[in-house]
Structure formats: C-alpha cells, structure tokens
C-alpha cells in the first residue's frame, strides 16, 4: 500500500501534472484557433450563434498520447525502485483517473469562460441532452479515462511485440482502411454493424433521446476490461531495453 | 542486512540455458563477490532477484519472503545495474528526490556530498552524462540508498582510476559505518579482492564455488625463489601459473600446502605467499 501511494504521488507530481499543463495549453490553443477560423469564415456575422468547441477532440488525443507515452518509461523507473508490476498498475489507474477528471473539469471551465465572450457548448452537449454540468463531466471523464488506458494498452502491446509485430501494429490504420474498402464492396455491412454497435453502447438506441449514462457505463466497462488485459500482459513481462 | 536464499533457480533464453539449478545463500552483513566470466549468468541471477526478469523455475526468498513481485522484499534491495532505467531528460537531483520517496532510508545529504566528491553536477540531465558519470550517478544512488542489500553490477564501468579508488573507499567507509549485505559483481577482481569476504563463482550458469574468500585462497599458494629450486619443488604438483625473470621464478600451486611441503620450502629456501584471487578465478573458470 505504501509503495502504491508513493508511486501514485510520484506520478501525479512528476509526470501527470506537467502533461496536463501541456494538454490544457494545447486545448486552449485549439479553441482559439477554432474561434479564429470561425471568425475569418464569416462567423463574425453569426456572433450570436452558439460555437461548438473542439475541446474534447484535443483532450481525447492528449489522453491517448499520455497513456501511450508515459506507461513504459515510468514502468522501467518503477522497476528501478523495487515497485512490483501489480503495484505499478494499481498506482497508474488512480493517476489516470485524476488526469481524466482534470481534463473534464477544465473542459467545463473553458466552455463557461468562453460563453462569457461568445456562446459556446462542448461536443458532449451537442451529442447528449444534458442540462447540468455533472453529466457532461461524467461522460467526458469516462471517455478520457478509457482513452488513456487504451494508450497504455497500445504501449504495452508495442513493448511486448517483436519487430515484425510492431510494424503490423503501426500499420493498423492501413488495415482498417483496407477493411473499409473491402466492406464497401459488400454494401458496407461491417461498417453498419460497427455503427450499430457504437450507437448501442454509446446510448443512442433512441436517436431522439440518447442516454449519456449508458455511454458512461459502456466506456467504464471497456476501461475495466482493458486494464485487466494490461495486467495480464505485464504481470510477467521482462525488462527490455531499447 | 538481509538474508537471501536462492533455491534451484533456472532460466533459459531460447535454447541457451543461462542458469541451471542455481542454489546459494547470501546471509548476513558481508561483502559478497559475484564472479564469473562473460555469459556465466551473473546479471541474469541479479535480474531475477530484483524482478527485472522471472525465473523459469526455482524461487528466491528475502528474509523468508518470496522476492517475486513482492514490494516488501524488493524494498530491502537496491540494485545498481548497467542499464539506465531513468528518463534521459530527468535531472540527477530529481532522481535523488524520487529515490528518497521509494527508499525512506535514502540519505539525500550523503548523496549530494558524494556527488560533490565525484564531481557530478546534480543539475545534469541523465541523458547528458558520459558512461563514467552514468556509473557514478548510479553508484551514488546505491550507496546513499542505505538499503539492507546493495547490489553493484559492474559499478566501475567507465570510471577512471581516481574515481574507482574513491568508490572502493566510499563503499568500505559506508560498510564499516553501517554494515549491510553488499553484492559486487565485477570483472575487475584484482581491484575488488581486498573488499570481498565471500565469493560466489558462476560458471556456465552453475555455482562453481560459494565460500569465504579465505577458504578459496587456501586452495592455492604462490612460491618464489631460484629457478632450479622452484622446478625441484614443483615436481608432481599442480602449477597454474609460472613467471620467470632471469634465474628468479614464481609459480602458483593449486593445492593446499601440507606440513611436508612447508618443510621442503624451508629446506630449499623458497618464499611462500598467498595466491591472488584473480589467478584462482582464472584457473577455476578456465
């Protein structure tokens, strides 16, 4: 327990805090750029139109990068300090949760501040009929948490892979594109199934009244399963130096 | 100090067997030398002990507890490895701070004092350190950790003679001030010989010898004197080294010196001296 807390403290103070700062600066920059683009393409006349902020897109990418970039270097450092793999993962999850919470809260603050100058909403508000801040924060938190865990998953997958397997993984977007092209010749059935599945798990069973809490539940379950897979992948992983 | 018990540990990398049923006990506050030729399995054994890798079979216990994925057992060990596990952009002083978090007995003041003595700038980034200074940085971490078990794997890699001397002196001073279990894995046997109390010699993944240094040194002795008398004395004995300079000759005999041998040495007017650890090591591992 002591080592878990110590690892968690080190994570939050040494790494996550810095990464969060960079993520937030990028998010603010992204929102400003989006405003400028909106303004320069005639948005000035539409000043009373509610602007949809691209904050979630930027934050989601950052959450994924955070998971992918910190997981293995910090794992090595944990080993150097006699921290077991299980303790490391147990400390990672609350740190990731704190990171996701900070990202979602900042999103709310950003939207609120933006609205003081120019009416704005977040993408979550557009997707789900949420009135209060809690629901928006919860949906975002679940999404960022999953994305960061998914980043960790990719990192451990790459770490465990040999040279050839890494190339196969790196070319994943290409494989996905090939599947889409092949699927197009079959009337897009795979894509339809995928969209149907996503609609179901993200709470869009009834399109007119989507349920955000189904999305929260689904994303949390995905994160939980991914964490379990990560643990199975790292429980006997040897230290590798690249 | 802590007791480490290694029981029937085996490890293979593909078809190469790195460790074959290794069993050895490391007990009490002593300085152990873990010796062996390249590929003997020293680093593999230390990596298994510190959970960097896992054994295929067997177990390691630290103070009676399994060392595998056990934070309590691992907290008693600080391992200075050849590998650098810290991010390159991290500063030396930040690693000191971080290590104190994980090893509560880490002596931050001592670490900074050592850094000054070794002329290592705490502001330096890990990635900017030369091979020698990387070794210095890691040995400072280990010395200041105050862990019950300190493991040094090739601690003097890339160090100049002055820094090597300073390291041995610091290690000795630290050990005398607070005796703990020290494991030194090195190829520079001659330099470390004076520090070692026990040796564990590995050969081709197996323990060849695990006893006090004194016992090992009693297995052989050095005789020197006139060439003619030396040759007469050496007849029928197992000579593992010979050196001659003009009429003077020196040999190392690999067998205990009996009382009959002592008498013969006196009669022939030959000098006897203890063998050197490195000579014995070379002979045992060849």
pLDDT digits (tens, 9 = 90+) for A156-208: 999 999 889 999 989 988 998 898 888 888 888 888 998 999 989 888 887 77
The pLDDT of B215-231, averaged and rounded, is: 90
Contacts of B138 (CB under 8 A, 6+ apart): B80, B81, B84, B155
- So what's the pLDDT on residue B13? 93
Between CA A132 and CA A108 the distance in angstroms is 11
Mutate to test the interface with B, among A78, A79, A81, A237 (most CBs of B within 10 A): A81
Contacts of B189 (CB under 8 A, 6+ apart): B33, B35, B277, B278, B281
Residues of A in contact with B85 (CB under 8 A): 76-77, 79-80, 239
pLDDT classification of A25: cutoffs 50, 70, 90: confident
A34: left (phi over 0), alpha (psi -120 to 50) or beta: alpha
Residue A51 in this model has a pLDDT that exceeds 90: no
- So what's the pLDDT on residue B225? 92
- So what's the pLDDT on residue A242? 64
The pLDDT of B1-24, averaged and rounded, is: 93
Between CA B114 and CA A84 the distance in angstroms is 29
Q: Please report the DSSP string for B207-266 in residue order.
A: EEEEEEHHHHHTT-EEEEEEHHHHHHHHTTS-EEEEEEETTEEEEEE-S---HHHHHHHH
Contact A210, A127 (CB under 8 A): yes
- So what's the pLDDT on residue A119? 81
Whether residue A116 is contained in a domain is answered as: yes
Interface predicted TM-score (ipTM): 0.85
Residues of B in contact with A238 (CB under 8 A): 52-54
**Distance from the A234 Cα atom to the nearest Cα atom in chain B, whole angstroms:** 11
Residues of A in contact with B86 (CB under 8 A): 77, 80
The pLDDT of B30-57, averaged and rounded, is: 95
- So what's the pLDDT on residue A238? 92
**The dihedral of CA A213, A55, A141, A115: what is its sign?**
negative
Q: Do B71 and A85 touch (CB under 8 A)?
A: no
Nearest-by-Cβ selection for B53 from A6, A10, A238: A238
Bridge pairing between strands B31-36 and B181-185: parallel
Q: Please report the DSSP string for chain A in residue order.
A: -HHHHHHHHHIIIIIIHHHHHHHHHHHHHHHHHHHHHHIIIIITTTTTSPEEE-HHHHHHHHHHHHHHHHHHHHHHHHHHTT--HHHHHHHHHHHHHHHHHHHHHHHHHHHHHHHHHS-EEEHHHHHS---SHHHHHHHHHHHHHHHHHHHHHHHHHHHH--HHHHHHHHTHHHHHHHHHHHHHTTTTHHHHHHHHHHHHHTT-SSTTS--HHHHHHHHHHHHHHHHHHHHHHHTTPPP---
CATH of domain B4-213: 3.40.50.300
Whether residue A183 is contained in a domain is answered as: no
Residue A43 in this model has a pLDDT that exceeds 80: no
In chain B, % of residues over pLDDT 90: 74
The pLDDT of A211-228, averaged and rounded, is: 94
The helix (run of H) or strand (run of E) holding residue B184 is strand B181-185
pLDDT classification of B75: cutoffs 50, 70, 90: very high
Contacts of B42 (CB under 8 A, 6+ apart): B34, B35, B36, B153, B185, B202
Whether residue A148 is contained in a domain is answered as: yes
In chain A, % of residues over pLDDT 70: 95
Fold exhibited by the domain B218-285: Alpha-Beta Plaits (3.30.70)
pLDDT digits (tens, 9 = 90+) for A98-134: 999 999 999 999 888 888 888 888 888 888 877 678 8
pLDDT classification of A35: cutoffs 50, 70, 90: confident
Residue A46 in this model has a pLDDT that exceeds 60: no
**Distance from the A195 Cα atom to the nearest Cα atom in chain B, whole angstroms:** 41
In chain A, % of residues over pLDDT 90: 38
Lowest-confidence pick of A34-38, A77-81, B18-22, B74-78: A34-38
For A1, the closest chain B residue by CA position comes to B71
Mutate to test the interface with B, among A82, A86, A88, A91 (most CBs of B within 10 A): A82
> What is the residue range of A80's domain?
2-160+202-234
The pLDDT of A84-93, averaged and rounded, is: 92
Residue A38 in this model has a pLDDT that exceeds 80: no
Between CA B59 and CA B8 the distance in angstroms is 7
Q: What is the CA radius of gyration of chain A?
A: 20
Map out the domains of chain B as residue ranges: 4-213, 218-285
CB-defined contacts A:B, below 8 A: 62
- So what's the pLDDT on residue B242? 87
Q: What is the DSSP letter of B18?
A: E
- So what's the pLDDT on residue A1? 67
Residues of A in contact with B52 (CB under 8 A): 79, 238-239
Lowest-confidence pick of A27-31, A128-132, B189-193: A128-132
- So what's the pLDDT on residue A100? 93
Q: How many domains does chain A have?
A: 1
CA angle A58, A63, A123 (to 5 degrees): 40
The pLDDT of B172-200, averaged and rounded, is: 92
- Give which of B33, B47, B34 is closest to B85, Cα–Cα: B47
The pLDDT of B11-28, averaged and rounded, is: 94
For B103, the closest chain A residue by CA position comes to A81
pLDDT classification of B142: cutoffs 50, 70, 90: very high
């Amino acid at each position: 327990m002591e080592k878990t807390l110590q690892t968690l403290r080190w994570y939050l103070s040494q790494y996550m805090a810095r990464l969060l700062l960079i993520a937030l600066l990028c998010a603010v920059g992204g929102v400003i750029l989006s405003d400028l683009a909106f303004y320069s393409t005639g948005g000035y006349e539409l000043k009373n139109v509610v602007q949809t902020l691209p904050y979630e897109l930027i934050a989601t990418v950052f959450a994924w990068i955070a998971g992918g970039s910190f997981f293995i270097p910090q794992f090595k450092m944990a080993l150097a300090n006699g921290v077991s793999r299980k303790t490391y993962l147990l400390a990672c999850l609350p740190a990731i949760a704190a990171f996701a919470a900070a990202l979602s809260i900042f999103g709310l603050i950003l939207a609120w501040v933006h609205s003081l100058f120019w009416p704005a909403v977040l993408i979550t508000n557009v997707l789900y009929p949420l009135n209060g801040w809690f629901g928006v924060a919860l949906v975002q938190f679940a999404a960022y948490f999953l994305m960061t865990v998914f980043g960790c998953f990719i990192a451990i997958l790459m770490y465990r892979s040999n040279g050839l397997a890494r190339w196969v993984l790196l070319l994943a977007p290409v494989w996905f594109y090939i599947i889409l092209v092949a699927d197009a010749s079959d009337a897009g059935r795979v894509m339809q199934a995928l969209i149907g599945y996503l609609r179901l798990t993200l709470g869009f069973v009834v399109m007119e009244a989507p349920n955000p809490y189904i999305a929260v539940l689904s994303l949390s379950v995905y994160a939980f399963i991914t964490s379990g897979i990560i643990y199975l992948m790292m429980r006997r992983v040897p230290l590798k130096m690249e | 100090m802590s007791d480490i018990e290694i029981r029937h540990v085996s490890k293979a990398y593909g078809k190469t067997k790195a460790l074959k049923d290794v069993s050895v006990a490391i007990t009490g506050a002593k300085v152990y030398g873990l010796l062996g030729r390249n590929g003997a399995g020293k680093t593999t054994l230390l990596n298994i002990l510190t959970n960097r890798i896992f054994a295929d079979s067997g177990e390691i216990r630290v103070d009676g507890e399994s060392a595998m994925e056990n934070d309590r057992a691992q907290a008693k060990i600080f391992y200075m490895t050849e590998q650098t596990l810290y991010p390159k952009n991290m500063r030396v002083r930040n690693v000191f701070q971080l290590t104190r978090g994980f090893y509560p007995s880490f002596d931050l003041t001592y670490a900074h004092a050592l850094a000054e003595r070794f002329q290592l700038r705490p502001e330096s980034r890990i990635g900017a350190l030369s091979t020698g200074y990387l070794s210095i940085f890691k040995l400072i971490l280990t010395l200041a950790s105050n862990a019950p078990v300190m493991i040094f794997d090739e601690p003097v890699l890339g160090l100049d003679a002055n820094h090597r001397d300073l390291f041995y002196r610091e290690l000795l001073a630290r050990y005398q001030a607070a005796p703990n279990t020290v494991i030194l894995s090195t190829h520079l046997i001659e330099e470390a010989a004076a520090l070692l109390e026990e040796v564990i010699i590995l050969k081709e993944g197996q323990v060849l010898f695990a006893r006090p240094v004194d016992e090992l040194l009693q297995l052989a002795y050095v005789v020197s004197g006139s060439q003619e008398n030396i040759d007469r004395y050496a007849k029928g004995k197992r000579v593992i080294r010979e050196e001659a300079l003009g009429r003077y000759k020196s040999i190392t005999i690999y067998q205990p010196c009996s009382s009959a041998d002592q008498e013969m040495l006196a009669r022939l007017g030959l000098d006897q001296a203890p063998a050197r650890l490195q000579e014995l090591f070379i002979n045992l591992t060849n």
